[in-house]
Amino acid sequence: MEGRKNALIVIDGAAPIRNMAAAIAAVLKSFTVTVLTAGEFSGTQLLAADICFFGSETPNPPSFAYLGTVLGHINLAGRPCGVFSTSVDGAEYLRNLVHDSEITLYPVVLMEGKDNVKKWTESVTAQLKKR
């Protein structure tokens, strides 16, 4: 029997993003889920994660500086990742943020109120089976 997978959700802490993170976490029933604001995040938590989700309301929030530094110096090739936001600019920022880590970014960004959270989350987690 395969052990539980670990999911890491790092957010900027804005109320709409917290709500989106909670909805994503609710879908991840077969995962051990850790939801943190970027200010609470530690680089070692990325290493334990089988799948990651990053959410920000706006581009370049100050609390994401450390996360950006870590992602610029770590190789997460093949590890699935989904990003979510309330704005197009926030979504584009997150897509660029993860680029250097070589993480496998799910191509669709979850936008608040525009997408089905369950379907999107299940599509991101399906990338684990392809590893």
Locate the domains of the chain by residue range. Answer: 7-126
Strand bridging mode 5-11 / 80-85: unpaired
Residue type, position 128, single letter: L
Residue 9: strand pairing partners: 35, 53
Q: Is the pTM of this model over 0.75?
A: yes
Pairwise CA distance, residues 12 & 17, whole Å: 7
Pairwise CA distance, residues 57 & 13, whole Å: 9
pLDDT (0 to 100) of residue 83: 97
Pairwise CA distance, residues 9 & 46, whole Å: 10
Task: Please list the pLDDT of the chain residue by residue as tens digits (131 residues).
Answer: 357 899 999 999 999 999 999 999 999 999 999 999 999 999 899 999 999 999 999 999 999 999 999 999 999 998 999 999 999 999 999 999 999 999 999 999 999 887 799 999 999 999 987 76
Fold designation for 7-126: Rossmann fold (3.40.50)
- DSSP H helices in 1-131: 15-27, 43-48, 65-71, 88-97, 117-125
pLDDT (0 to 100) of residue 112: 86
